[in-house]
Chains A and B, each alone.
Chain A
Amino acid sequence: MYEIKNTHKISLFDITKVRNDFPVLSQKIYGKPFIYFDNAATTQKPKVVIEMINKLYSEYNSNVHRGVHYLSERMTEMYELARKKIQDYLNARHNHEIIFTKGATDSINLVAYSFGEAYVKENDEIIISEMEHHSNIVPWQMLCKRKGAHLRVIPINDKGELLLDEYKKLINSKTKLVAVTHVSNSLGTINPIKEIVAIAHENNIPVLIDGAQGIQHEPVDVEDMDCDFYVFSGHKIYGPTGIGVLYGKERWLDEMPPYQGGGDMIERVTFEHTTYDELPFKFEAGTSNYISTIGLGVALDYLVSIGLDNIQNYEKKLLDYSTTKLMALNGLKLYGTAEKKVCIFSFLLNSIHPYDTGMFLDKMGIAVRAGHHCTQPLWEHYKIEGTVRASLAFYNTFEEIDFLSEALKKIQKMFG
């Protein structure tokens, strides 16, 4: 029977122990060991996060920033501590530059609305890239439609890398913002963020980085990157669902109008006029998802305890091993072969429809995603409609890759 072993002996941490931290991984699906390769969709949660959520609801539940009572104060302390943890994790200059949202999508919508209201006019331009997730396309399209502005797109090469020379050509006096992804959710490409930011800043244009697929694989130092906005979702970095982060430089956030109105974001309300609270609360209308926020803080603590370097080194070895193993399969075509990439493998197997491959892998206990992965315009570049995507995390093993490779061979035989 298939077991999780560490026979390759190249892990810098104890993979068995790491896997034990994630209860969902030990179950069987259709009577087979569960192999979870859909981490770009969402990551699994370590016990410490699950236990914290349970503890918070069982012992501490109370609304934050409201009560004068004991529990509300404890909850508020923990909530604001989570903000501090995220500030430290991102190396942001100020605590109030961390805004809590529902997720990366919500964060981008916030910026598209509020930045758009403050700075974007008719005939202005927003630059995105060909590899963006729909979440980093549609909010900008909506903004462009609202303001009569235009969307410009940085093209990619066939390996799935941004063409920086083309990017430079797109920049002009009408460009108001550049919004690109840190890591492609479909191809795994790691984009040269520092260079992209530097080019935009030479022209005094701010840059938003969609970190939904970057934060869980790459070290993020917003000070060093010098990006103006960085967004990510908690659930893709081993935290709970429904919590996201918007990091924004103080100078922009100060000038941008609020996105939504409601409780907690006001200073004074009369029927004639409202003055808004200061940062970060100006952008956090309504009761926040304080439980998930604290859970996200715990997830980041957990990652730090494992060691971000250890995670990165292990994932690099998984990437190299998986690439070799998958490329060795005749009839498998890999999409996304950038020099710098993370453990995301988009592929087609012979002429088998991705849905068919995905369905058979599921029957063999392997969870992948099949389809367009919310990047329909990207697939137009490759003239295909979608792929099978296996996206790995640091709790995946080399043996699971062997298992995937064998499963794909079986599928080839069945459809052959």
Chain B
Amino acid sequence: MSIDEIQEEIIKEFKNFDNWMDKYNYLIKLGKDLSPIDSKYKTEDNLIKGCQVKTWFHSTFKDGKVFYDINSSSIMIRGIIALLIRVLSGQKPEDIKNADLYFIDEMGLRENFSPIRPNSLWKLINRIKQDAILYETKMAK
């Protein structure tokens, strides 16, 4: 499935929740279900810097596609990460780089991506995009 197709699917799923409590409950569930990051990737280098919520980022590149290991000390953030992984993991670097992640707005999660929040999500998105650009450059060589 393409990035946009997955986003549409998620938006449709979230339409079933008519209040914030249900929506957040679902995010908590996703957060709890997200498989933990391999401890060998839980390094200082993989830590997204400057945030009060600790988030680790690692990616691998296989057959022209990027796969993610991301995790966070906050369950809520982990729930949102689970969605990001569902949308972006297994996609091509070029598509990740150009992705318009409109599902964040559609689901009313934009506030979690604000640079003034002490979490790491907006920095995580930057990292994901920069990472995709690096793989794209490598592929071009």
Q: Please encode chain A, from 351 to 384, with 1 for each CB lying within 8 Å of some chain B CB and 0 for all others.
A: 0110110011001000000111000000000000
Report A-chain residues with C-beta under 8 Å of the C-beta of B75: 352-353, 356, 415
The answer to the question of A385 belonging to the interface, with a C-beta cut-off of 8 Å to chain B, is yes
Report B-chain residues with C-beta under 8 Å of the C-beta of A359: 76
Q: How far is the CA of A352 from the CA of B76 in the complex (A)?
A: 10
Report A-chain residues with C-beta under 8 Å of the C-beta of B21: 414
Q: A371-B118, A386-B52 are in contact. Are A355 and B24 (CB under 8 A)?
A: no
Report A-chain residues with C-beta under 8 Å of the C-beta of B101: none
Q: How far is the CA of A353 from the CA of B28 in the complex (A)?
A: 12
- Nearest A residue (CB) for B25: A414
Q: Is the CB of A355 within 8 A of B28?
A: no
Report A-chain residues with C-beta under 8 Å of the C-beta of B89: none
Q: Is the CB of B20 within 8 A of A353?
A: no
Q: Which of B25, B54, B74, B118 contacts A356 (CB 8 A)?
A: B74
Interface size on A, residues (CB 8 A): 14
Q: A385-B52, A386-B52 are in contact. Are A355 and B76 (CB under 8 A)?
A: yes
Q: A414-B25, A415-B28 are in contact. Are A371 and B76 (CB under 8 A)?
A: no
Q: How far is the CA of A385 from the CA of B28 in the complex (A)?
A: 21
In the complex, how many angstroms separate the beta carbon of B43 from the nearest chain A beta carbon? 17
Report A-chain residues with C-beta under 8 Å of the C-beta of B24: 360, 363, 414
The answer to the question of B73 belonging to the interface, with a C-beta cut-off of 8 Å to chain A, is yes
Q: A372-B52, A385-B52 are in contact. Are A355 and B20 (CB under 8 A)?
A: no
Q: Is the CB of B28 within 8 A of A363?
A: no
Report A-chain residues with C-beta under 8 Å of the C-beta of B73: 353, 385
Report B-chain residues with C-beta under 8 Å of the C-beta of A355: 52-53, 74, 76-77, 118-119
Which of A353, A370, A371, A385 has the most chain B CB atoms closer than 10 A to its own CB?
A353
Q: Please encode chain B, from 9 to 50, with 1 for each CB lying within 8 Å of some chain A CB and 0 for all others.
A: 000000000001100110010000000000000000000000
Q: How far is the CA of A308 from the CA of B118 in the complex (A)?
A: 36
Q: Is the CB of B118 within 8 A of A353?
A: no
Q: How far is the CA of A370 from the CA of B75 in the complex (A)?
A: 15
Q: How far is the CA of A363 from the CA of B111 in the complex (A)?
A: 12
Q: A356-B76, A385-B52 are in contact. Are A370 and B25 (CB under 8 A)?
A: no
In the complex, how many angstroms separate the beta carbon of A364 from the nearest chain B beta carbon? 9
Report A-chain residues with C-beta under 8 Å of the C-beta of B118: 355, 370-371
Contacts A353-B53, A353-B74 aside, 16 further interface pairs with beta carbons under 8 A come to A352-B75, A353-B73, A355-B77, A355-B118, A355-B119, A356-B74, A356-B75, A359-B76, A360-B24, A370-B52, A372-B52, A385-B54, A386-B52, A414-B21, A414-B25, A415-B28
Sample of 12 A–B contacts (CB below 8 Å): A352-B75, A355-B52, A355-B76, A355-B119, A356-B74, A359-B76, A370-B118, A385-B52, A414-B21, A414-B24, A414-B28, A415-B28
